[in-house]
Chains A and B, each alone.
Chain A
Amino acid sequence: MKTKIFATGLAVAVTMAAGVANADKWSDQFPHIKNTGDIPGECSYESMSKKDYKGKTLTINTHAVPVMGEPTALHAEQFSKLTGANVQVIHTPAGDLYSKAMIPFQAGQAPYDIVFGFSNFIRDWMQYLEPVPAKYVNMRQMQDVTKSHIDVASWDGEMIQFPIDGDRHYLKYRKDVIDNPEYQAKYKAETGRELRVPRTWKEYGEIASFFNGWDWDNDGEIEYGSAEVMKKDDLMYAAFFSRSVAYAKNPRTPGGFFFDLETMKPLINGPGFVEALTDWVEATKYVPPGGINFGLGDEINSFGGGQTLFSFSWDDAFVAAMEDNSPIKNKVGVASLPGSDRVWNRVSGAWENEYNQAPYIVWGWAAAVAKESTNHEMAFDYLCFFSNDANHQADIAIGRFGVNPFKKSDFVPAIYVERQGWDEEIAKEYTETLLEMEEQNTNRVFPLRVPGVFQFTSAIATGTSKALAGQLSPQEALDEVAAEWEKIVKRVGADKVREAYAVGVALEDNLN
């Protein structure tokens, strides 16, 4: 593995050096890529400047600024200057991205050539999308994408979405606290346990509780244990799955995490998930006041602003914390999601008392070309340009852009040390953690990608939020979710859900 990383690092160094050669020519016109200049490739600035799309219009429906909306607009402007195309960018709130594309899709219209959304929309959208042509799939730029993100963008081996972003959930923690010898001694004296990066969710809760409600960074403000996405309907279901994987993803019981693939019976109210929800209800005691109503933005601001010890979700909170204007730059660390000391075996119907950990390769931003569009080539060229090496390197350094690592060449510490001023140790921890999750761990959980996915996730959000609010016990809440899931499966059709779910299960069971 070390050889592989070294080789990738070498490749990055070569491309960085190659980029410098072109820096003067293109970075003068496009300051966004001033750190690298143009990097040679199939969709580089140089290559795009040879395309001629004058008189053609490309319409893109993307997210509101800044997250993903800002880079979309920026790269649209650059693409327009290089190719002569007229690029119209329409910004839409996250909650409406699905329906705003789905309504014209179902009506057979093509108001947008490119649609941005989340990668778990894939099963509902794929019949309306143009698969990525082989020339893009086989190009060098695409060979650099990690297998996990090729899998996320593909359906049964066919690439449907163009990889533009990488997403996964992982643990972020305050390194200056966890590694502080004074606090280590204090924690040991008061609890009898070692203060360390939590290995299990129980340990996470214990440490978060200890550091909840007092000023441990001496800034005159009270700090808290953890910031989490708990607000109903605001991606909270993803946070719940992150907490569930350790208890419920047993590597010895293949054949489904969310459902039993054979019977399509929901597993969501099994003891593993109930244990995770019980932990989560407990977590309401160590989040900041009102933390139960934190959406993703609140979580980013809370952890990124130095209010909490821990956080877990997408990269954004970590990147925000490591930006130059952050009060906690180079004070944060990264680790895989905590695991558990036991894992539920749904086949034997018993707990297995051994350590278990599972990465959650959560869904993230995705972009695709509408089948009904009459500008397929131009649309794919735009997406290819969006994610070319120079743009991508510049984008991942800007937290608010929401573009995160998904290329093998991203997992080289030097990039972050030299270009973003990160501490070497933190950069190493960051890249190693992400690479381990993506390329090495075989107990991964992928997002639910089945027809009517929003009905399933909405039921989870409602059930878990009732438990967090104390309206129902964890078991009652998840029983309610399971009952709702059974109704959805019945409505959509068990065979159709099974057929789609099997594609994700094959990834989780490492059958591909």
Chain B
Amino acid sequence: MNFRHKHIFLLPGLLVLIGILIFPILFTVRLSLSSWDSFYPGLDFIGLENYIRLFTDDLRFWESFLRLGFLSLTTVFLQYVIGFSLALMVWRDIAFKRFFRVLFLIPMMSTPVIMTVIWKTVFHESLGPVNDFLSLFELTPLWLSNDFLAKITVIIVEVWQWTPFMFLLLLAGLLSLPEEAFLAASIDGAGPIRKFIYVTFPLMAPISIGAIIIRLIEASKIMDTVYVLTSGGPGTSTETSSFYIFIKGLREFQMGYSAALSFTYLVIMIISLTIIAKVLVRVLMKQD
């Protein structure tokens, strides 16, 4: 077969890739070099002005980035710990195993925005059931109105919603582990804790790294929970990068500037996640 004909078969896939991946990125970069906003529509060229503004005069973006780091690392860590625990629980033969496997997946299958609205009602400080119950003990925590507690509330909702995803990946990993290693450990007299530390956990390291990275990518885009629960408040205490970019782009209609924010965010995320992945490989797979 002629070599050129092979390229023709690759063309549809290549065009799709260009259309849905390369073009939007290139357009974002071009947009970021323009002043497109509500009053000046169009792709004029203003050089690196938006990037200079971002790096010299936008502390709020960097604060939102730090906040995002805290929220995403905390939520993913908790999701990993809880997800792994649940996966271990239903990995072995227990009563109602199938029921529990489905039950644990329900949060992930529900619509995030709707569930967040429900959580908002649950945590409503004066009308919600949580404070209604806590008021019996003369406690009325300000779940959404206190700087610190608002962050905790966002974490609770995120952990509830996405732990099942971690659970699913880790359970799939556990089910694919070879039986021989566990048999050998049993013959050597290892108990459940030693088996977990020396067999299960090391064997699960590659899939753990994959699951953590996938969840970190997703968690770093946290937007709907913040939008519905707190709108980034009180003050700016739960404002994350993606919510800030949304405000600049679609609320204030600073399209050029928000493109610069988005592209900078993308670059930082690629670098950060690469570093995190390497650190995880070094820490979790050190025995290899």
Contacts and interface: CB of A to CB of B under 8 A. Distances in A.
Interface of A: 95-96, 98-99, 102, 106, 124, 224, 231-234, 288-293, 302, 307, 451-452, 454-455, 458, 462, 465-466, 468-472, 487, 491-492, 496
Contacts of A496: 39
B230 interface: yes
> Most chain-B Cβ atoms within 10 A of its Cβ — which of A290, A454, A455, A491?
A290
Given A233-B232, A290-B125, A99 B147 contact: no
18 contacts: A98-B253, A224-B126, A233-B231, A233-B232, A289-B125, A290-B125, A292-B234, A293-B125, A302-B126, A451-B38, A452-B39, A465-B234, A466-B236, A469-B233, A469-B235, A469-B237, A471-B237, A491-B37
Judged by DSSP, the binding face of A is: helix
A471 B235 contact: yes
Given A99-B250, A293-B145, A452-B252, A232 B235 contact: yes
A469 B147 contact: yes
Nearest to A234: B231
Contacts of B231: 231-234
Contact of B232 (A232, A290, A292): A232
A471 B236 contact: yes
Contact of B147 (A293, A458, A471): A471
Interface stretch (B19-27, B68-76, B99-107, B136-144): B136-144
B262 interface: no
A232 to B, nearest CB: 4
A291 B233 CA distance: 12
A40 B279 CA distance: 77
A290 B124 contact: yes
B253 A293 contact: no
Given A96-B250, A454-B252, A471-B235, A124 B39 contact: yes
Given A99-B253, A455-B252, A492-B39, A290 B236 contact: no
Nearest to B35: A491
B41 interface: yes
Nearest to A288: B126
B251 interface: yes
A102 B124 CA distance: 34
> Most chain-B Cβ atoms within 10 A of its Cβ — which of A96, A292, A471?
A292
B131 interface: yes
> Most chain-B Cβ atoms within 10 A of its Cβ — which of A99, A234, A293, A472?
A293
Given A462-B236, A465-B236, 15 more contacts: A98-B251, A232-B230, A233-B232, A291-B145, A292-B142, A292-B145, A292-B234, A293-B230, A451-B38, A452-B38, A462-B60, A466-B235, A468-B235, A469-B234, A472-B235
B242 interface: no
Nearest to B230: A293
B247 interface: yes
B252 A290 contact: no
A102 B38 contact: yes
A171 to B, nearest CB: 22
B225 interface: no
Contacts of B143: 290
B254 interface: yes
B234 A232 contact: yes
Nearest to B232: A232
The 4 closest A-B pairs by CB, nearest first: A290-B125, A469-B235, A469-B234, A232-B233
Interface string B246-260: 010011111000000
Interface string B206-238: 000000000000000000000000111111110
Contacts of A487: 57
A1 to B, nearest CB: 41
A290 B233 contact: no
Contacts of A233: 231-233, 247, 251
A102 to B, nearest CB: 6
Nearest to A458: B252
Contacts of B253: 98-99, 102, 124, 452, 454
A467 B57 CA distance: 21
A451 B35 CA distance: 14
B50 to A, nearest CB: 11
Contacts of A292: 142, 145, 233-234
Contacts of A291: 125-126, 145
B55 to A, nearest CB: 15
A4 B126 CA distance: 46
Interface in B25-44: 35, 37-39, 41-42
A290 B38 contact: no
Contacts of B233: 231-233, 292-293, 465, 469
Interface in B250-288: 250-254
Contacts of B41: 106
A498 to B, nearest CB: 14
B98 to A, nearest CB: 39
B232 A289 contact: no
A451 B39 contact: yes
B251 to A, nearest CB: 6
B145 A452 contact: no
Nearest to B125: A290
Contacts of B147: 469-471
Contacts of A102: 38, 253
A289 B140 contact: yes
Interface string B113-148: 000000000001110000100000000101111010
